[in-house]
Structure 1
Amino acid sequence: MTNAANAVLSLHASRAAPSVWPEQHSSENIHRGGRMHHKLARRQFLKTVGLGALAATGMELLELPAVAAISPAFNTNSSNVARLLSGCCAYSYDKELRQGTMTLEDFILKAVELRLDGIDMTAYYFKSTDPKYLHGLRHLAYKHAVPFSGSACRASMVQADAKKRADCLKEIKKWVDVTEQLGASHLRIFAGKLPPDATLQQGIGWTVETMKAGCDYSAQKGITLGLEDHVGVSQSADVCLEIMQRVNSPYAGINLDITNYIPTASQDAYAQIAACVPYATHIHIRDHFYDHTPVDMDRVWQLFAKAGYKGYVSAEYERSLPGGDAAAVGVPKLVAEIQTLCRKYSSV
């Protein structure tokens, strides 16, 4: 038997027979010197067996973090350690949910079947915003250990008319309240398309005005607003980043849809994704870009890992994309790819 193995057996024996450390039998010793003797014994044990042997014997014997047994250099406090969780948007089953062949209750159970870490409850499919209905969804999800990664509404903030901007803010507040009732912490919102004769800077200004007020409200409930790079003014990383800087709220982020950025002469889609990942509060995934070219998924996950993204990476399946299958086939395939890449590049 090796010295390391003998040392481990000795430690087990000492725990089974506390009389080995008689100082600890006195309550005074426990507060004064007993703990010091225990620490010295542990230090001696470290010297005896070496750190390499500890990884093989189980770090829990010394009450040290289990991650140290995997990699002593792994820094769990680092903001650069990615934590990637698989998710799925209800929108992935858009046809089924609209036609009534699937309900949001069914979607929650589908999440169990797909072994998802969480689901995004797209607002289009709620039967009601009555608290009783929302609490029923929340309870069903809890009973099946399915967290809600967030909710998503259609509120579009690019409105030239001040009254329409006020109405948009009311809509955002309404869905913040719904999100709170669901027990989720994130709400996706849109900027929107420019109206005729409006300039880009005007559109950005209207978005900032409404989103800042929305974040002031959502912050009171601990809910983050995620601006999606959806069709319209926000299909540019530069615009998204300007909005984030001007809103300047810890409750503002980017709901990063990796497929929607329009490439420019100086920035392709990947460069724009990389620029926005540090601000991402939720991520939506499809496997084809806005122009229908395939996404290099592994490359995108490398960007998530490099930025230390922590959060949900949710499938948003589009059957209308080239080669699109029915959701029953396409969603599990996309989810499986997401889960594989999350395992590859995540700390979990």
Structure 2
Amino acid sequence: MKPVIGWSPVRLLTPMLETGRPSLTTVLAKAKEFGVTAVELHHAMLPRYDRRALDELAATLNKYGLKLSMLTCAPDFTHPDAKERERQLDEMKTKVVAAWVLGAEGVRVTVGCAHPEVSREQGIAWAVEMLTRLAEFAAPRGVKLGLENHYKDRLWQLPDFAFEPEVFLEVVDRLKGLPVGINFDCANPVMVGYDPIAILRAVADRVWHVHVSDRKVGDYAHQVLGEGDVPLEAIFRELAGRQFHGVLSLEDGQGQGDEGTRRSLAYLNALVRQHWQTH
């Protein structure tokens, strides 16, 4: 079984928040135009979270024949203020319910921001506690959590507390046995000089969703797939060898507009045909 190809239109997030354009309906129409069957939306792209608005969005997704693969969220579970951590958890519960209403497979979650006053041990302990509580809320609703090997959310001022692989993998290890899966990001490790293959192999049995993106070493900016330094061929060989058949979501932050999206999707489709034809 081949994986599903999806689109995460992160290049449109800033204009959507600053100008209201394009509208979410326009974005979904564009996804259909690009020929994908799954779309991933950043939580800030949803204008409202009341049931009426969510039902309308679900109807629009259905109109365009789209499945919401994941609602991309970025909780800060390492915040030094306990009340803020609780507020973040409450917000995430709202987003889990939204994902359920929208028929999404799950939500992307993060460890939290690298607040300078928070020690490694304390931050890991807080993150594990909050992710455990969130998983206990999400699992009965059939909503998966996808913890990402993350660097920095577009709405954050600080990098992720767990952007270093050893911290991320310690959090993952402490969540062993809990219903917390992985959203594997292909490009984040490369950007900060780490080996994505080593990270993937350490978490492969828990990966259910993948961010497919390309970057150059040391550069936060996304590239068109195949034009950066990410070893996508090797990553896809690893995924195919492990019979991955979840969602490969193009994290589309490149600066060349719709043409760049089309080129990235063509590259992604070619990789899938190449690596899954014998699996």
| C-alpha RMSD of matched pairs (Å) | 2.3
Range that drifts further, 97-106 or 171-180: 97-106
Is the counterpart of residue 140 in structure 1 residue 75 in structure 2? no
The aligned residue for residue 247 of structure 1 is 175
Larger radius of gyration: 1
Q: Which one of 185, 191, 215 corresponds to residue 105 of structure 2?
A: 185
Cα offsets for 1:47-85 (capped at 9, x unmatched): xxxxxxxxxxxxxxxxxxxxxxxxxxxxxxxxxxx6321
The aligned residue for residue 2 of structure 2 is 83
Range that drifts further, 219-228 or 162-171: 162-171
Runs of at least 4 residues off by over 4 Å? 262-265
The aligned residue for residue 87 of structure 2 is 167
Evaluate the alpha carbon distance shift between residue 131 and residue 263 of structure 1 in structure 2; reply closer, same or farther with a 3 A threshold.
closer
Q: Distance in 2 between matches of 1:122 and 1:341?
A: 25
Is the counterpart of residue 342 in structure 1 residue 269 in structure 2? no
What runs of 5+ residues in structure 1 fail to find an aligned partner? 1-81
Range that drifts further, 182-191 or 82-91: 82-91
**Could you tell me whether the CA contact under 8 Å between 1:215 and 1:249 is conserved in 2?**
no
The aligned residue for residue 33 of structure 2 is 113
Q: Which one of 114, 121, 124 corresponds to residue 204 of structure 1?
A: 124
Counterpart amino acid of residue 196 in structure 1: P
TM-score by length of 2: 0.85
**Could you tell me whether the CA contact under 8 Å between 2:191 and 2:216 is conserved in 1?**
no
What runs of 5+ residues in structure 2 fail to find an aligned partner? 152-159, 220-227
Evaluate the alpha carbon distance shift between residue 131 and residue 161 of structure 1 in structure 2; reply closer, same or farther with a 3 A threshold.
same
3-state DSSP of counterpart to 1:119: strand
Cα offsets for 1:84-129 (capped at 9, x unmatched): 2111113232244233331221122112111113001211111111
Q: Distance in 1 between matches of 2:68 and 2:252?
A: 18
**Could you tell me whether the CA contact under 8 Å between 2:190 and 2:229 is conserved in 1?**
no
Is the counterpart of residue 234 in structure 1 residue 154 in structure 2? no
Counterpart amino acid of residue 256 in structure 1: F
Q: Distance in 2 between matches of 1:127 and 1:263?
A: 31
Q: Which one of 203, 221, 246 corresponds to residue 141 of structure 2?
A: 221
Cα offsets for 1:287-311 (capped at 9, x unmatched): 1156235212212211211222221
Q: Distance in 2 between matches of 1:138 and 1:249?
A: 32
Q: Which one of 239, 242, 249 corresponds to residue 314 of structure 1?
A: 249
Structure having the higher helix fraction is 1
**Could you tell me whether the CA contact under 8 Å between 1:253 and 1:279 is conserved in 2?**
yes
**Could you tell me whether the CA contact under 8 Å between 1:119 and 1:146 is conserved in 2?**
yes
TM-score by length of 1: 0.69
The aligned residue for residue 203 of structure 2 is 276
**Could you tell me whether the CA contact under 8 Å between 2:24 and 2:45 is conserved in 1?**
yes
State the number of aligned residues: 261
Evaluate the alpha carbon distance shift between residue 240 and residue 281 of structure 1 in structure 2; reply closer, same or farther with a 3 A threshold.
farther
